[in-house]
A and B are shown apart, each in its own frame.
Chain A
Amino acid sequence: MMLVKDINCRHAVRLIGDYLEGKLSRRDRRRLEHHLAGCDACGAYLEQMRATIALAGQVGPEDLSDDALDALLDVFDNFQRDRGDPGEDMP
C-alpha cells in the first residue's frame, strides 16, 4: 500500500471544495480521505458543507413584487390578445 502523506486540517479544508464536486486528483483525494479517516473535526466540516449545499437547495426564490408580477402578466395578456387577433399572422 502506498504511503499517504499527511496533510493538516487547513489543507484538508482547501481540498474539500473540489472533493464535493468530485474533481480532486486521485492523489489529493487519497490524502484527503486519509485525513478524514482520522479527523472528526474535518469530518464535521465536510458534513457542514454538505448540509449547507442541501439547505441552499431548499431556499425558495425571492418574493416578486406585485408590480413586477403584474407587469409580466400584462405581457402575457397582450400576447394572448395579439395571438387571438385573426388579422395577424404568426411569423
Chain B
Amino acid sequence: MVPIFASSLVILPFHVCAAIIECDVEAPATLGATVTSASEPIASSGETISDATIFLENPKVHHSCRFDAARRCSLRSPATDVRVTGNICQSATVSEVDDEELLQRFLQGDRDSFRALVQRYQPVLLQIARYYVNSTASAEDVAQDTWIAVLKGAERFEGRASFKTWLFRIVANRARSTGTREKRQVPVDTTDPVAGDRFNTQGMWKEPPVVFADLLADTESNYAVAAAIHAAIADLPEIQRSVVTLRDVEGLSTSEVASLLELSEANTRVVLHRARAHIREVVERVAEGGRQ
C-alpha cells in the first residue's frame, strides 16, 4: 500500500530559506563566513554592506530568526555569527560552519569559534543538566564544567560520533554524577493527545483539524508561530521539554534521547508524542487565530 499521506507534508517557508533579502550583513572575519550575491561575493568577512541584494548560501539556517510586524528581518546563525537585518524581499539563508570545523578552529585558539559553539549549545546543555540536577545554579555549574571538559578533551575528540553527540554525553554524564535529583519517573499517562471534546460520541472529529501549511505561508504568522513554539516548549513539564528538545529541536534519534535521559525507548516515545501534541495544539491556536 502506498502511504498516501507522505506527500501531504508541505515544507513551510518558515523563516527564510534560500532566497534574497535586502539587508545589512556583518560577519566576523575569523569565521570566514561567505556572503555571496547571486553572481559573486559581495561581502567578505568583517565587512558591512548596506542596502544590497544579497544571496546567502546554505540550506541549513534555522538557528535563530525573528520577524517583526513591520517585516523587518533579523536573522542570526550562531554557528557563524553572521547577522542579517533588513527588509525581506523573499528570504535568505546564511552559510554555516559545522561544529567540527568550529572545534578545529578554537583548538587553534580562535575565540569566536568557541563563542559560536557556546551560543549554539549552552541553552541545550542547561536543559540536559537541569533534567538531572535540582537547581538552575547547579545546572549552570555542570554546563560550565562541560565546556572545561571540552576545552581539555577537544584534542582527543576523534570524530567517531558527532561533536554534538559527544558534547551531550559529557553533560549528561556530569549532571548524572552530580546526582542532586532523584531518578525521574515517567508519569503513567492515559489521557488522549488531543482533548476529548474535539471528538463526538462516536469518536469522530467534530471539526476537522486545519491544515497548517495554508496558514503559515506568510511571514507574520511565521513569526507568531516561532514565538508560540518557543513558549510552548518552555511551558512543557521538564521531562517533555527535555525529550522534545533533544529529539525534534536537536534532531537526535529516539534511542540517543532515551540513553541521554535514562528512559526506555517506549517511554521516550510516549513522552515525545505528548510534547508534540501540546506544541501542535499551540500552533493550531495560532493558525486559527490567524484565520479570524
Count of interface residues, chain A, beta-carbon cutoff 8 Å: 50
From B3-11, B23-31, B48-56, B174-182, the one touching the partner chain is B3-11
Residues 2-19 of A contacting B (Cβ, < 8 Å): 8-11, 13-14, 16-18
Which chain B residue has the least Cβ–Cβ distance from A30? B1
Contact A56 B194 (CB under 8 A): no
- Cα A33 to Cα B2 in complex, Å, equals 9
Interface assignment of B226: CB less than 8 Å from any CB of chain A: yes
Smallest beta-carbon distance B187→chain A, Å: 16
Interface of A is mostly: helix
Interface of B is mostly: helix
Among A42, A54, A59, A73, the residue within 8 A (CB) of B205 is A42
B contact residues vs A (CB 8 Å cutoff): 1, 3-5, 8-12, 14-15, 62-65, 76, 78, 106, 109, 111, 114-115, 118-124, 140, 144, 147-148, 151-152, 192-194, 196, 199, 202-205, 208-213, 216, 225-226, 229-230, 233, 244, 248-249, 251, 254, 269-270, 272-273, 276-277, 279-280, 283-284
A sample of 24 inter-chain contacts (CB < 8 A) reads A10-B192, A10-B199, A10-B204, A17-B270, A18-B273, A41-B209, A45-B205, A47-B211, A47-B212, A54-B11, A55-B225, A56-B276, A59-B226, A60-B78, A61-B120, A61-B121, A61-B122, A61-B124, A62-B123, A64-B122, A68-B140, A69-B122, A72-B118, A75-B148
